[in-house]
């Protein structure tokens, strides 16, 4: 594999480096909450100066990227326990390495992202019989026809949904509901305050510009049920609860406030049958 791989992505796409860096950073700890050595390997082969991210990223932001990975990994494993040959669709996959952590040897997996991102992804990760790439926009439902479903479907989206506006999310959820009734979807959400804080404290501080700002703030998961009576919230749960080991007292207080006021949290929903 060639060294010093150049990154050719736009301002929104390049934010995929943030959670990748976060997972690699976690691996440096004596007792990491999430072990992801593949993330460290990818970081080492990218031609990118991570110094600004390293210098300016608040520990609670890095911890949030780890927490959501832990939640999504757990949700996938619980889903696979019920449906071992399930189809998992990784929305806005970036340089995500979830598959390597959860593969049970039977699941079927699709990594979905824009063409430029998939091209970068292919330099590190390869397609197999059970793992396929789809180069497409999440919002354009024409990618549905590329799916070959074997068993129940779980959509996952880590650090993705708030880059769209609410109207776009409503529209694609309606289409997913119509085409894949019975499927489930898990993602991380942010309140309006959380979106503003992330734009200021994470996006700008990491050296990205306003074109990479988050858009969609969701105050309560149950608000989604008002869009469509065929959407059921399975669970809404805090981001940091029971995952604050190793944080300083100050950061534990920040995490508590985030959980208390749902600044960052997880949403697991189901698209009901027609």
Q: Provide the pLDDT for residue 206.
A: 87
pLDDT tens for residues 13-52? Answer: 889 999 999 999 999 898 899 999 999 999 999 999 899 8
**pLDDT (0 to 100) of residue 43:** 92
The string of pLDDT tens digits covering residues 51-105 is 989 998 989 999 999 999 999 999 999 999 999 999 999 999 999 999 999 999 9
Q: Which among 19, 21, 17 is positioned nearest to 7, based on CA atoms?
A: 17
Tokens 């440096």: give the residue. 28
Domain 5-271 has CATH 3.30.950.10: no
Split at pLDDT 50, 70, 90, the class of 1 is very low
Q: Return d(Cα 262, Cα 214) in angstroms, integer.
A: 16
Block residue for tokens 């480096």: 17
Which residues make Cβ contacts (< 8 Å) with residue 160, sequence separation at least 6? Answer: 91, 92, 138, 187
Least-confidence region, from 7-16, 78-87, 186-195? 7-16
pLDDT class of 207 with cuts at 50, 70, 90: confident
For residue range 218-269, what is the model confidence (pLDDT) as tens digits?
999 999 999 989 999 999 999 998 888 888 899 999 999 999 999 999 999 9
Task: State residue 135 phi and psi, 5-degree precision.
Answer: -95, 95
Integer angstrom CA distances of residue 248 from 29, 137, 144, 185, 234 = 14, 40, 45, 33, 32
Query: How confident is the model at residue 96, as a pLDDT?
Result: 95
pLDDT of residue 165: 95
Closest by CA to 267, choosing from 193, 182, 191, 179, is 191
* Residue that wins the pLDDT comparison between 9 and 175: 175
Q: For 191-221, b where at least 16 C-beta lie within 10 A, e where not — what string?
A: beebbebbbeebbebbebeeebbbebbbeeb
Cα distance between residue 10 and residue 178, in whole Å:
32
Query: How many residues can be counted in the chain?
Result: 274
Residues 97-137: pLDDT tens digits?
999 999 999 999 999 999 999 999 999 999 999 999 999 99
Residue 2 has pLDDT above 60, yes or no: no
CA angle centred on 213, ends 210 and 218, rounded to 5°: 155
């Amino acid at each position: 594999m060639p060294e010093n791989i150049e990154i050719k992505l736009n301002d929104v796409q390049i934010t995929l480096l943030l959670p990748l860096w976060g997972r690699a950073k976690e691996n440096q700890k004596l007792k990491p909450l999430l072990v992801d050595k593949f993330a460290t390997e990818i970081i080492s082969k990218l031609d990118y100066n991570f110094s600004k991210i390293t210098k300016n990223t608040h520990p609670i932001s890095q911890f949030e990227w780890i927490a959501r990975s832990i939640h999504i990994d757990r949700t996938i494993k619980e889903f696979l326990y019920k449906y071992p040959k399930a189809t998992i669709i990784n929305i806005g996959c970036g340089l995500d390495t979830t598959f390597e952590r959860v593969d049970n040897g039977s699941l079927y997996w699709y990594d979905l992202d824009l063409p430029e991102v998939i091209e970068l992804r292919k330099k590190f990760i390869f397609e197999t019989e059970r793992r396929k790439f789809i180069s497409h926009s999440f919002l354009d439902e024409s990618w549905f026809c590329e799916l070959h479903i074997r068993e129940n479907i779980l959509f996952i989206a880590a650090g993705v949904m708030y880059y769209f506006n609410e109207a776009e999310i409503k529209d694609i959820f309606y289409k997913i509901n119509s085409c894949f009734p019975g499927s489930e979807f898990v993602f991380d959400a942010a309140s309006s305050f959380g979106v503003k804080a992330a734009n200021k404290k994470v996006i700008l501080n990491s050296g990205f510009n306003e074109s990479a700002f988050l858009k969609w703030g969701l105050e309560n998961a149950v608000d989604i049920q008002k869009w469509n009576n065929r959407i059921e919230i399975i669970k809404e749960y805090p981001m940091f609860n029971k995952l604050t080991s190793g944080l300083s007292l100050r950061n534990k207080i920040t995490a508590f406030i985030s959980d208390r006021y749902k600044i960052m949290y997880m949403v697991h929903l189901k698209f009901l049958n027609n």
